[in-house]
Amino acid sequence: MEIELRVSTDADIPFVRNAHHAAYRDVVIRQWGRWDEELQDEFFLRGWQDSPTDIIVLDGVDSGYTGVIARDTEVVVHKLVVHPDHQGRGIGSQFLRGVLADAAERDVPVRLRTCIENHRARSFYAGLGFREVGRTETHILMEWRQPPLPEQTGIGP
């Protein structure tokens, strides 16, 4: 399995919109009670414009999209969406493990948020070592930090 990232272009908008809608429809209905296509198009376009988007390509096939901003003091995962047709194949895990390895090397935390009703994402992130650090009315704020080395904990020889 070979995952690559490529910078998105406006030609990717239909794929990214489709992936967004397919991935979030059930979560939105659970959390807000209904799916409003026009409103979701607005959310999608705002997200598209607010932060850079890279396309996740698995073995030459567009499989999802992401937006990660690496700052001096933190890494922020603004978006990570694997199209439902490609979920369950380790794409998100492999991608995020790379992000975590880079953050560990730089000794900075990785932060993200997910909808309160997105149980699958919460479980996924927790399995990679993210923990809840706060909440808004609609989202859970999560953070990953590199575990301290044994000599930093006082454990060991």
In this prediction, residues 29-56 reach a mean pLDDT of: 91
Q: What is the mean pLDDT of the chain?
A: 92
pLDDT interval class at 151 (50, 70, 90): low
d(CA 58, CA 64): 9
Cα angle 132, 140, 78; round to 5: 105
pLDDT interval class at 43 (50, 70, 90): confident
In this prediction, residues 44-52 reach a mean pLDDT of: 85
Cα angle 127, 94, 17; round to 5: 95
d(CA 138, CA 124): 18
Check: CB of residue 31 under 8 Å from CB of residue 117: yes
pLDDT at 70 over 90: yes
Instruction: Provide the whole-model pTM.
Output: 0.88
Q: Give per-residue pLDDT as tens, 89-107.
A: 999 999 999 999 999 999 9
Residue among 40, 4, 42 at smallest CA distance from 22: 40
Ordered domains of the chain (ranges, CATH): 3-148 (3.40.630.30)
In this prediction, residues 125-137 reach a mean pLDDT of: 96
pLDDT at 136 over 80: yes
pLDDT at 155 over 60: no
Question: What per-residue confidence (pLDDT) applies to 49?
Answer: 83
pLDDT at 138 over 90: yes
In this prediction, residues 29-51 reach a mean pLDDT of: 90
Check: CB of residue 113 under 8 Å from CB of residue 138: no
